[in-house]
Amino acid sequence: MTPSPAGLVNLFSPEAVADPMGTYERLRARHGPVAPVLLADDLPAWLVLGYRENLEVARTATRFTRDSRVWNLAREGRVPAGSPLLPVTEWKPVVRFAEGGEHRRLRTAINESLARFNRRGLRRHVTRYAGELIDGFCAAGRADLVPRFVQHLPMLVLARLIGIPGHAAPGLARATQDLMVGARTAVASNEHIVACLRDVVADKRAAPAGDLASWLLAHPIGLSDPEVVQNLRVTLVIANETTVALIASTLRMMLTDPRFRASLAGGHMTLPDAVEQILWDEPPFRTLVGRWATADTELGGQKIKAGDMMLLGLAAGNADPAIRPDLAAPLLGNRSHLSFGGGAHECPGQDISRAIAEVGIDTLFLRLPDLDLAVPEDELGWNAAWVTRHLATLPVTFTPRRPEPAARPGPARPRPPLDGCPSRGPGPSAWPSASPRPASRVASLIRLLAPHLR
Ligand code: HEM
């Protein structure tokens, strides 16, 4: 580990980014369930490693708040202007930073609007977009699944749900990735997302449709247009990269882990079980810039000062030996992991992400049942940053198949330019509807995988 001036581990160091789990275990051994760490520009924070301690921080808003305006380092002017921490810490009037009555107001509008989605409709959209993406490479017999499939599917579905024109999805997917990894282009990418969502909200104000943007605008709680834009921005940024990471990790596990293959083929593990296992072992947010101490307090034997930043160590908490003495023991659908956070801010979109991952993977294996990894596992590339880490490549081979556009009724969607979000693009309400397909086909997946798994 790169030694820091104070002898503390810097989570931005190349070693910590390359080996997050090893880093967490070394910190746990040295400091216990709560460890002092350094971030960019050697700014100090507390990394919460214990499962119980993570829940305590997430669930006790009176001691640990989401309101980043109490951050002592920012108040003392110690955060440099170009700090990569700013995009995730700078307070904005959105659900992520709100507490108390204001948080309840925004969460009610978001929860009730998300609840209006028809779950079967969601699964149909996922099946449709997954099918379109697979048609783009299935005749070739080989493809890199990350750039051809995984990186596009969540944004296509999320764009449809939110009410964003489909042609804007690739540009938005790239922009949200920029924000999550704290790239130099993050500010421009953020502006692109906001400009796109402003157009969408203006369109939906004039002509409401059956989508999240329209439902938020119409919600009786009375959100203003800028509030809807900003809360949709938060939703999009959180939802896309995390769901990309979940799909990539689950696919990798299905293609490489012999224990998983054996369990799936033997009927001991279902696809939803596999997704949950990944949420335990490789949470899309390894750490979450989560809370700030409201007053001097104590946690895990450490003395925390008022205004200190608490990083929720979701991956470390999920692997805490206090709750998982044997990491290899199968969890078979247990959902009590920390991957969706906890307390009043717990992720409201978790079932949507599960549906995108499960139906997307199900569709892929139904169309290409003999998928095989094309390179040794240790040659797979990774996109790693201090909060997230997911595969950058997943090259596979398979028996070439014909595209199946006829299986999806309706006229072909026009192909507008890929980037941008013009105010009058071909909106989702104009898209052809997808053909209904069975909601869950895990049994057929197992049957189709079986010859390949022998
Ligand atoms: C695998 C996919 C996903 C993961 C791992 C994930 C994880 C998280 C986490 C860890 C939080 C913070 C919770 C906390 O502070 O305690 C969060 C918040 C949030 N997520 Fe997700 N999320 C995912 C997908 C989604 C989707 C699909 C949506 C919506 C369609 C969504 C919408 C949100 C929103 C709006 C918040 C802010 C909630 C609040 O502050 O009250 N997420 N998510």
Lowest mean pLDDT among 24-28, 156-160, 383-387: 383-387
Q: Name the residue among 434, 413, 412 with its Cα closest to residue 169.
A: 413
Cα distance between residue 124 and residue 118, in whole Å: 10
Nearest atom (ligand 1) to Cα of 103: 41
Cα distance between residue 135 and residue 408, in whole Å: 11
Residue nearest to atom 36 of ligand 1 (CA): 347
pLDDT at 416 over 80: no
Vertex 53: Cα angle to 51 and 57 (nearest 5) = 120
DSSP secondary structure string for all residues of 231-264: HHHHHHHHHHHHHHHHHHHHHHHHHH-HHHHHHH
pLDDT at 267: 65
pLDDT at 422 over 60: no
How remote is the CA of residue 200 from the centroid of ligand 1, in Å? 22
Lowest mean pLDDT among 95-99, 229-233, 378-382, 444-448: 444-448
The residue to mutate among 116, 312, 340, 361, having the most atoms of ligand 1 within 8 angstroms of its beta carbon, is 340
- Longest distance between any two alpha carbons in the chain, whole Å: 64
pLDDT at 442: 33
pLDDT at 414: 41
pLDDT at 424: 36
pLDDT at 279: 97
With bands split at pLDDT 50, 70 and 90, how would you rate the model's confidence at 131?
very high
Question: Could you say which DSSP state residue 435 is in?
Answer: P
SS3 313: strand
Query: For residues 49 and 273, is the Cβ–Cβ distance under 8 A?
Result: no
Lowest mean pLDDT among 168-182, 319-333, 365-379: 168-182
* 378-394: average pLDDT: 83
pLDDT at 270: 84
pLDDT at 332: 79
* 299-309: average pLDDT: 98
Residue nearest to atom 40 of ligand 1 (CA): 96
Indicate the average pLDDT of the chain: 86
* 145-152: average pLDDT: 96
pLDDT at 386: 72
With bands split at pLDDT 50, 70 and 90, how would you rate the model's confidence at 182?
low
Cα distance between residue 361 and residue 268, in whole Å: 18
CATH of 14-86+94-453, one of 3.30.70.141, 3.20.20.70, 1.10.3210.10, 1.10.630.10: 1.10.630.10
Vertex 89: Cα angle to 227 and 65 (nearest 5) = 85
The structure's pTM equals 0.89
How remote is the CA of residue 152 from the centroid of ligand 1, in Å? 19
b/e sequence 21-50, b meaning 16+ C-beta within 10 Å: eebbeebbeebebbbbbbbbeebbbbbbbb
pLDDT at 446: 33
Nearest atom (ligand 1) to Cα of 284: 5
110 or 262: whose pLDDT is higher?
110
Cα distance between residue 235 and residue 88, in whole Å: 13
* 358-384: average pLDDT: 92
pLDDT at 225: 97
Query: For residues 353 and 433, is the Cβ–Cβ distance under 8 A?
Result: no
Residue 329: Cβ-neighbour burial (10 angstroms; 0-12, 13-18, 19+): exposed
* 252-259: average pLDDT: 84
Q: Which tokens hold the place of 37?
A: 């760490």
Question: Could you say which DSSP state residue 145 is in?
Answer: H
pLDDT at 137: 97
